[in-house]
Amino acid sequence: MLRIQKHYLRNYSFLLKPLLLLLLIISSCSPLIASYNEHVYRELTSLKVETNALIGKATNDYTNPETEIEQLDKDLQKLHEYIKGLPKNAETTKMMDIMINGDGRWEGIKKVWKSSGKLSKAATGEFQAEIAEGFNDMLQLESRKIK
């Protein structure tokens, strides 16, 4: 250590202690929210595209793409479980839950598609926009998380 540094440390150590203590207290507080997760971001982007593509097929009979619907359900559930397992991730977990089970999101769209047999062209367009908006909200939150 340089002589000049020793001099300052000796003379101003009374100030250093409270500041370092303050620094230690603030640093020891754990973050309030999970950090950015690339896997989550990538999967959300991919599921946004897949869900919208599938809704695009809703002008056809529900039974036609039933296997694809089952696969998408599985993929959505897998990501939901992964997100749920990340610590301090309550907001994203709840958003994913709404996206899957919401009356006006995927579950609601599936129900009306199944009960009607097929959806009108106008409805598929509107549902696609709604689903895209929901995924965009999730992507925006994920991308703003600290990297």
Q: Which residues here bind another protein, judged by CB under 8 A?
A: 5, 8-9, 12, 14-16, 19-20, 22-23, 26-27, 29, 31-33, 91-92, 94-95, 98-99, 102-105, 108-109, 111-112, 115-116, 119-123, 126-127, 130, 133-134, 137-138, 140-141, 144-146
Whether 96 contacts 125, CB under 8 Å: no
Give the shortest CB-81-to-another protein separation in angstroms: 18
Could you give the angle at which helices 66-85 and 38-56 cross, rounded to 10 degrees?
Answer: 160
Residues 9, 14, 17, 20, CA torsion sign: negative
Q: Which of these, 95, 102, 99, lies nearest to 141 by C-alpha position?
A: 95
Least Å distance between CB 74 and another protein?
22
Closest C-alpha among 99, 104, 103, 102 to residue 83:
99
Q: Which is nearer to another protein, 49 or 129 (CB)?
A: 129
Beta carbon nearer to another protein, 46 or 120: 120
Q: How far is the CB of 91 from another protein (least distance, A)?
A: 4
